[in-house]
Structure 1
Amino acid sequence: MKAVVYDSAKNFTIKDIPTPEPKSGEVLVKIELAGVCGTDLHIHEGDFLAEFPLIPGHEMVGIVSALGAGVNQFKVGERVTVNPVVSCGDCEFCREGKPILCHNRKGLGTNWPGSFAEYMIATEDLVFKVGNLSPDVAVFAEPAACAMHGAQMLGIKPGSSALIFGAGPTGQLLAQLMATSGAASVTVAGSTQFKLDLAKKLGADKTYLMDRNNVAKTKDDLLKASPSGYDIVVEATGSMQVAEICVPLTRSGGTFMVYGVAEPDETFKINAFDVFHREIRIQGSFAEIDTFPATLAALESGRLKTDGLITHRFSIDEYGKALEALRSDKSAHKIVLKF
């Protein structure tokens, strides 16, 4: 099979390697579409806990091609997606029912072979049927599951006001889930107009075109629009400059969520007294681990929409072009590899 293979950070080749055979309890999936996201750029650089050699890719949809011994939940020919996050089941957090915090957490496409290949292997418990969802929708299962986890962590109260920085695919998905979880008003702030236009089509109540080089003006403008601040403020860009204006924009008693992926050594400043006396809650949200069923239900019902998010399609041989488009093409939104 053809696959993207990294020998080390930044060093990859597209080459033919043996197609894996499913062992007991495993499923072999023939990939149809694989999503390329910002995390893949971090992995390309050797960050985000990447372990090499590696076949990256953690967003996918495909067709069951073969079944290992003992697998009885699936049939050859069914369309499925795969949850790429694996917990150990034995550490203190797994035993407490918090597998997302697993000490030994691994990921397909991060530590183990992922979906940037014609075929991939996953254990039966990580595979999910996608029903009648089209490949263009089902390929969003993993990023949408991350957004679902974020929405669950927020514990949104009906009638809340919400502001999310970042109009990328996961920002768009999270904005929708905040609205369907009870937020009365959702504002999406981003630096690209066509993404904000799409956010409006997908249900955002308000949008704001921001200049990342002038976050002070962004803060002032958004406070003019909502003088008391916002009950929920989500930073989904990974920008530390944007992160620093989030607590001042959070309404007293509200929640500031760190959702965007930053570099391991990046930091931002907050005013400790402001957090203290206004009782601001600071919440992290990392990936997902158990939200695939709820996410697929939301996609199947149409409550969670992906219309218009895919803008660029590349073949596996064009993987380098896909990375470059993700890094620098302002017209790119969601990028997928097609097989």
Structure 2
Amino acid sequence: MSQTLEAQQRVPDAMAGLRLDQAAAELFADFSRERLKGWIKAGALTVDGTPARPRDKVYGGERLQLQAELEDDARFEPEAIPLDVVFEDDEVLVIDKPAGLVVHPAAGNPDGTLLNALLHHCPALAAVPRAGIVHRLDKDTSGLMVVAKTLMAQTSLVEQLQARSVSREYDAVSVGVMTAGGTLDAPIGRHPRDRKRQAVNASGKPAVTHYRVVERFRAHTHVRCRLETGRTHQIRVHLAHLRYPLVGDPVYGGRLKLPRGGGEALKALLREFPRQALHARKLAFVHPGSGETLTFRAPLPDDILLLLDYLRDDVETLR
């Protein structure tokens, strides 16, 4: 079974000088660069109506048109993994992802992922690229994600993400006491020495995070972050760059810091906190079919609630 995919994008001036396959990978983010390269070679992805080569340069202003047949993706097996479904209709699915669940299969996680769970929950998603996944959360970040159930819905949601019109808010617990909130506009790219990490990097992609203080503790802060962009590890990288890394972050958290004079129970919890304290609390987007703006909220999970309770008790104990 296959579906005909039709989509088009205009190359922005900022992409001038990129290879066609690089620009296509940015503009048609649902598909891998290798898949797009194959479509370019087959003439299914054209530039101003003319076939081109993957290595050809773009100059800005060109119209990229994609017309391709999408076969059902049979590489991944459906798995009966429970999903916390917040909302579902014929076009979109909103879930509250638990910490510990990988979103997409990869070399280290070939199965047991959200994608496998989605294929079991809705077998028709096999005909949608990446089973409808249009954005990701890190394995150990909990909270809201939207999934497209049709190609039309997927195209709409990707366009909204590219236009920065999808509203995404996160709750985080950081190490250190913030004096005030603010906005960090700092590009993010690969770390120059550790390719598995991201870093604030002048040659990286634009990244903007707005953050504000929800509650201060003796040595930590409950922070609320709103994303304008969606770079890999964005909140984790940006807060670490500000010297307020997330509690429990194994990659960007640095050396463990325990509050002086704190109780042993709090210290034990901080030592053993199993993940970065980050939760996608709010998600808003325009419904691809109705045009209505939908807003969803997910309550804090038990582990972060427990951490906040311990931090409040620590403040009260030492008053």
- Structure with the bigger percentage of helix: 1
- The structure showing larger relative contact order (alpha-carbon pairs under 8 Å, at least 6 residues apart) is 1
Return the TM-score normalized by structure 1: 0.27
TM-score (norm 2): 0.28
Larger Rg: 2
